[in-house]
Amino acid sequence: MEANPYRRETLLQQLTAVPTWDLIVIGGGATGLGVALDGISRGYKTLLLEQADFAKGTSSRSTKLVHGGVRYLAQGDIGLVREALYERGLLLKNAPHLCHNQSFIIPNYSWWGGPFYTIGLKLYDLLAGRLSLGPSEHLSKAETLRQLPNLRPAGLCGGVRYFDGQFDDARLAVNLAQTCIAHGGTALNYCAVQGLLKDATGHLIGVRAIDLETGLSYELQAKSVMNATGIFVDAVRQLDEPGARPLVQPSQGVHLVLDKSFLPGTAALMIPSTDDGRVLFAVPWQGRVVLGTTDTPVPAAALEPQAQPAEIDFLLRTAAQYLTRAPTRADVLSIFVGLRPLAASATGSTKTKEISRSHKIVTSASGLITITGGKWTTYRRMGQDAVDQAIVLRQLPPAHSRTAHLPIYGAEETPAPALPYDSLAHYGSARVALRQLIVEQPALGHKLDGALDFLQAEVVWAVRHELARTVEDVLARRVRALILDAAAALRAAPTVAALLAQELGYDEAWEKQQLAAFDELARQYLLTA
């Protein structure tokens, strides 16, 4: 029987089996995974270390869009939009099981709105070139209301439809970690970097890390060390240069999850200019509606940021301006908050909507390479640019990136025929093995909760093949229960804890500790009326 490369014990053994890594990447979110996979694609011995779980922070809390950024087009940032549209096209090809085409409609409540947005979105189409997902078009008032049945009809002149990408952010992160491992790299969650190793001249030669499960420490040598920790990049930079000027201005984005009845049909609603000049989306996603987002500066990074009452009120108030049946606090199934690692403005501006979403690469005197800014859509290009910088600095020998056309774990050259409704479709090629698991253990075919489509087999699969270690890992990021319905996730938690304990060999005390920790976390995702 072939050894399972995703077992934690196997991955931990690799830490000491490699005397000197070519590349050590700190951070297991979108950026770090992009850097690691790029390094692996070039043949470098690559290790990725994540202090919590993959995509625990910002990378699991996006608006679930793979997009060029219509708002950046309005700001005149043509280069960023062109790059993002190209990367969008690559991602839809490399991970078709997780990424798909989504239609968006901008409602027009003024006579000039239709021509204005139609012209702008034709430019968007043009910039996408051969990777376009479909032509934008003007819609009549009747067609707009047919596409968006809950839209407020009073004063509506029509709408403009365009196409962008949608995806499952945390699932993509997990599949990227699996892709890294499948191609010979090492990716470890719950292994925190606590210090940097330097030689007598102050040159960076590795990291000091601790396995948070066993408490064992490791000193790991590397030719190149990459700081790709998103909102936490400045904490790592302080390890290298105490007192270093901050690179990141954290900005908070709040999302509310609602029942699908608030946005019937398949189209998403895009509001191009809210009361404070931002963009707001209401997007159908996994049988629910994601409403967001805000853009609020916050003073410090946190793994579990909290929504401010004013942000929640803003989202509900704005939705009520456009929807006939408006959501209330009682209708919110879950609330999730992400922090954007915006590259701090050189001008000192604190207006987060004016800070560029483009990424930035900085190299310190010791040789630490830090990459920050950017967004999920451009994660692959960020990884490529960061590794290119290591080559420019002669930390790594020249080699070409091969990620542009590298299929991500689960992608299928010839997808299997779709079932009428396949709740396992987002596993791609892995769903065959998942179904076999249910054949072998029929009890695993039961749902985790009646309000959710997730199966018990997915918990077992998450432990054996997706590096899940905790109840939160499973319910927040392997299956998206916590994001979709926090109350249902709480009900499912005991079943998940029991399955995890059985798979990992833990006792009842561990189960109780896990349930207590998840209960405390999940209640932050519940919005009381």
For residue range 93-130, list pLDDT tens digits in order.
Answer: 999 999 999 999 999 998 777 777 888 888 888 888 88
The phi and psi torsions of 52 (rounded to 5 degrees) equal: -120, -125
> What's the whole-number mean pLDDT along residues 410-419?
71
- Summarize pLDDT for 273-315 with one digit per residue, the tens: 787 777 899 999 999 999 998 989 998 889 999 999 999 999 9
User: Does residue 152 register a pLDDT over 80?
Assistant: yes
User: Does residue 1 register a pLDDT over 60?
Assistant: no
Confidence of residue 437 (pLDDT cuts 50, 70, 90): very high
Does the structural domain 100-165+250-343 have CATH classification 3.30.9.10? Answer: yes
DSSP state of 474: I
The phi and psi torsions of 103 (rounded to 5 degrees) equal: -85, 140
pLDDT value at position 357? 54
CATH fold for domain 8-58+171-247+352-392: FAD/NAD(P)-binding domain (3.50.50)
66-70, 98-102, 478-482, range with the lowest pLDDT:
66-70
Domains 100-165+250-343 and 425-525 are alike in CATH topology: no
314 closest CA partner among 293, 338, 336, 285? 293
pLDDT value at position 347? 40
pLDDT value at position 326? 96
pLDDT value at position 414? 67
Please report where in the chains the tokens 């076999």 appear, as a residue: 436
Which segments within 293-346 are labelled E, that is strand? 296-297, 334-343
Q: Please give the C-alpha separations between residue 126 and each of 85, 123, 135, 510, in angstroms, as whole numbers.
A: 10, 5, 9, 55
What residue ranges do the domains of the chain occupy? Answer: 8-58+171-247+352-392, 100-165+250-343, 425-525
Pairing of strands 280-285, 369-373: unpaired
> What's the whole-number mean pLDDT along residues 392-400?
98
pLDDT value at position 183? 98
User: Does residue 165 register a pLDDT over 50?
Assistant: yes
- State the Cα–Cα distance between residues 25 and 155, nearest whole angstrom: 53
| Contact indicator for 510, 206 with CB cutoff of 8 Å | no
331 closest CA partner among 282, 289, 365? 289
DSSP three-state, residue 380: helix
The single-letter code of the amino acid at 392 is V
Provide the mean pLDDT of the chain: 92
User: Does residue 525 register a pLDDT over 60?
Assistant: yes
Please report where in the chains the tokens 């929807």 appear, as a residue: 323
pLDDT value at position 349? 43
> What's the whole-number mean pLDDT along residues 221-233?
97
pLDDT value at position 198? 98
Mean pLDDT is highest, among 69-83, 351-365, 468-482, for: 468-482
341 closest CA partner among 250, 280, 426, 252? 250
- State the Cα–Cα distance between residues 88 and 422, nearest whole angstrom: 25
What's the N-to-C CA distance of the chain in angstroms? 53
pLDDT value at position 416? 60
> What's the whole-number mean pLDDT along residues 486-491?
98
User: Does residue 460 register a pLDDT over 50?
Assistant: yes
Q: Please give the C-alpha separations between residue 429 and each of 271, 327, 413, 414, in angstroms, as whole numbers.
A: 36, 38, 9, 9
Question: What tokens does 76 get?
Answer: 């005149």
Q: Is 500 exposed, middle or buried (0-12, 13-18, 19+ CB in 10 A)?
A: buried
The phi and psi torsions of 239 (rounded to 5 degrees) equal: -65, -30
User: Does residue 420 register a pLDDT over 60?
Assistant: no
Confidence of residue 415 (pLDDT cuts 50, 70, 90): low
CATH fold for domain 425-525: Helicase, Ruva Protein; domain 3 (1.10.8)
6 closest CA partner among 512, 465, 496, 338? 465
pTM (2 d.p.): 0.96
Question: What tokens does 237 get?
Answer: 């930079």
Up-side HSE of residue 27: CA atoms within 13 Å toward CB?
Answer: 31
Q: CB atoms < 10 A from the CB of 134, how many?
A: 13
- Summarize pLDDT for 331-371 with one digit per residue, the tens: 999 999 999 887 765 444 444 443 445 789 999 999 999 99
